[in-house]
Each structure stands twice: as C-alpha cells, then as structure tokens.
Structure 1
C-alpha cells in the first residue's frame, strides 16, 4: 500500500471515529474575550504575582479557584503543566486534551484533560485562541540553536526545578501546553508561527476543576522567530471563580467534556 493510500485510509478512519465519538453537534463556541481582560471582583482576588521573563512559578490551586495569565507587559509565551493534588500520579495530558476534543485549537469553552480522562482546568475566558498543544516547550538545545550568548533559561529546566520544589521527580513532568504561542498547522502538517495571533493585553482565565499543583514557565517558544532572548514579564492573578451555572459552556460544549466532568464527579473531585 502506498504512503498516499495509508494517509487516506487513516484520514477516513479518523473521520469515522470523530463522528462516532461526538455523537451530537457540539455547542457553538463564542468569539474571543475582549483584550485587556474581563474585570475581576477585587474581593475574589487571592494573590497576584509577576513572573519575570525566563522564570517559573508554582502554586496550589483549589477546585473553584482560577488563574488569570495576562500579557500586561507585552507578548510572551507561558507553558503550563499540572498535577492532581489528591493523586500526583494524575497529571495534565495534552495529547488526550487534543484527541478527546477532536481539535488542537484551544480557546474559550475548551477544557484541559488529565491522563485519567478527568477535567483539570476549564478555559473560561480567552482573548486570542493562539495556544500550542502540539510542540511543547524550549530546552537547552533549542535555546542554544537559536540564541547567541547563552545559556538562557528554558522551559524544560524550569519545570524540572518546579517539579523538585513541589516534591516530584523528573519522570513526573508531563508534556506542557503553551499559552500565547500562535502556532498553526499547514496543509502538509508543518508547524508555523503567526506573531499577529497574540498581542499585549491578551489573557486567559483557567478555572480549576479539581485541587491542583500548577507550574508555569515564562520562556520563548521554540518556534518564536524573534532573534533576541527577551521574554516579557507575565502577570498572574489567582482568584475565586464564580460558581458555574448548570449550562456552563465548558461543562456542556461537547459530549466529551460532559463525560470528563462525569468522571470528576465519580471520583469525588
């Protein structure tokens, strides 16, 4: 069988499984949140943090709390990994996040899945929908190949430090999702960077659906073509999210999300 025939058969099978998996038409997702941020109730704010360019940050995030990650100081890319606080062997799974929702395009209304089929985080606000769930973060080699005068801090080493600080080991670090990384996939499967997809003032709000340990890394994405290593600081706000309504978009947008939240309920999360 030729390569073209294999590709065509795999595509046919994928579309068949997608139709069977979705079962019914998903809810239409809204447009982006307004750049600059949806105002937060000051009484709901629990903590503010500024993560300098090149650095990392870790936090405990209780179910019902949320993180706002905001590009208040200019464009940057922020990689994220997460572990269940109840059972740290359960962790973010970016491959399942893509497969289960049948899309790598993360945006308002989508959710982030664990490797146990449960929902860890909901994307309740998002101003740009320009996030990378395919390539992962930078490492020593990718930085050395792109930036002279190093070494420079990178996402892999940042997550090693974050994991050790949180009582984990290197083997406990899952693959990351990178926010504000405008990566697109061309018709031949090549990844490309579109800087116009993000701007100062962009932000995301991530609501925790279980108790979590979260680590963030503020380092340039490996595909970012900027010639200088100069990531901007990133503003982080941890706050109490409003109680989700019965028709909450993230919980009802797709049948896959509904099943993920049913798994949460079954596990008592």
Structure 2
C-alpha cells in the first residue's frame, strides 16, 4: 500500500507550551477541543505508542478497527482521523512528514522486553531502567482511574510495518529520521497517554528508545467547527458524518 509523499510542515503558530518525553518514558494529559500537538522525533528512530479516551467519559475510546475501515486504509497519515468506538472524531492528522504510522503492531510487555533486552530494573539502574510500553501506558492510565481492562489497540506513531504477500508484517528500520514530525489536532476533549518505549517488532538487539518533543498550539476556537473543505473532514463521506456527530456534542 503506497504512503503519502512526505511534506514540509509549516512553523507552529503561537506555541502554548512545549514538553519533551524522554527516551523510554511516558506522558499523559488532556488536550482540549481545538488544540493541536506538533510531535517531533528528536533523534530519529522514535516510536510513540499512543492511546486516546474521551475526557469526560473514558468508556469511550479510540477504536482501531473503525478508524481503519471507515477510511479504507491500513495505516495512518495526514488526512486521517482517529475514531472513537461511538463514531466520534477524537483527533485528526493534519500534517505529516512520514506518510505512514503503524496501527497494528501493539505494545511490548515486560516478558517480551526482558527476552529481547535483558533486565535493567530501577533498584540498580535508576532512570536507565528498561521500561516496556504496556506498563508505561498503564502507569499513565492509573492517574485517571483506568487500568488493564481499559487497554485497547494502540497507535505507534513514527513506526512502519511493511506487509508481506503472506500477510506477515516486517518492521521498517530507519523509517523516521531526526526532525520528522506530524500534527495531531483534537476535535474532542481527549485524554492522551503516550509511551516512547521501542516498538515490539523493532529488531534492534539493544534497548535504544528515543525522545520526542510535544508543542501545543491552538488550531481553532473550541466553539468553532472544522470547515467543510478541511482535508481530514473531506477525505471521505464517513469522515463528514463523523465530524457532524462530534460537533453535536458541543452545540
């Protein structure tokens, strides 16, 4: 499946705040409707595992199957939106230098990471400990009263899995370079949880997570609607219906 060609991103207009998620750590926060994040791979080779929930009702959350089938795609890039399991648009990918983000690969757990990288626990290694993606996301979800039963299929931004003729998925090394970035615009008040642990299919023998930078800015006023000619809204008829369903929540 071809990916969109990479494009340069416009400068961030009037940043509201910035943060760096260090390599192999995790972050969470609530992004309000109309806020966007510029997310940047600082060193190259980053993986950002992400989960999304409706802030005022986290029983509604990102749905991988609906997101892909509604937009007739098997990967995410600019023009795609992230659907909840209630048919609302949580967020939109409005810009992207990579052209492909993995929606299938999942996250690694403690057993997988120990088998791949060995053991490096906090008691001996402090901040150099090995953190796996699943436990990192659970740490963040626990801050909001969520737990293992709330884990759903995640997105792995900056990563690409190439499909084989036999249905296999192969991790594409070197897909994301230093400075690669994308913009994620939030269409609902959304709880986001991120982990910078390596992708579970990354073949590297050494544990080498990478940091990412977040830059928040206002894309539109929270009481406004995305225009009809917006590329994410206009991508397909399903997205138009998704935006209408979402806007009705804020009337």
TM-score after normalising by structure 1: 0.83
**Deviates further, 118-127 or 137-146:** 137-146
Alpha-carbon distance in structure 2 between the residues aligned to 1:122 and 1:175: 18
Partner residue in 2 for 1:85: 55
Partner residue in 2 for 1:24: none
1:205 corresponds to 2:180: no
Contact 2:45 2:175 in 1 (8 A): no
Alpha-carbon distance in structure 1 between the residues aligned to 2:148 and 2:30: 19
Question: For 1:210-255, what per-residue CA distance to the aligned partner results, in whole angstroms no more than 9, with x for missing partners?
Answer: 0011111001001111111011211111111146433000011111
Query: What pairs with 1:83-162 in structure 2 (closer than 5 Å)?
Result: 83-150=53-120, 152-162=130-140
Partner residue in 2 for 1:232: 210
* Paired residues, number: 237
Stretches of structure 1 that go unaligned for 5 or more consecutive residues are 1-28
**Deviates further, 94-103 or 156-165:** 94-103
Partner residue in 1 for 2:143: 165
Partner residue in 1 for 2:6: 32
Larger Rg: 1
Cα shift at 1:30: 6.2
Specify which structure has the higher proportion of helix.
Answer: 1
Alignment CA distance shift 1:64-1:233 (3 Å): same
Alpha-carbon distance in structure 1 between the residues aligned to 2:247 and 2:16: 26
Structure 1 counterpart SS, 2:100: coil
Structure 1 counterpart SS, 2:66: helix
1:254 corresponds to 2:236: yes
1:268 corresponds to 2:242: no
Query: What pairs with 1:180-219 in structure 2 (closer than 5 Å)?
Result: 180-219=158-197
Cα shift at 1:68: 1.4
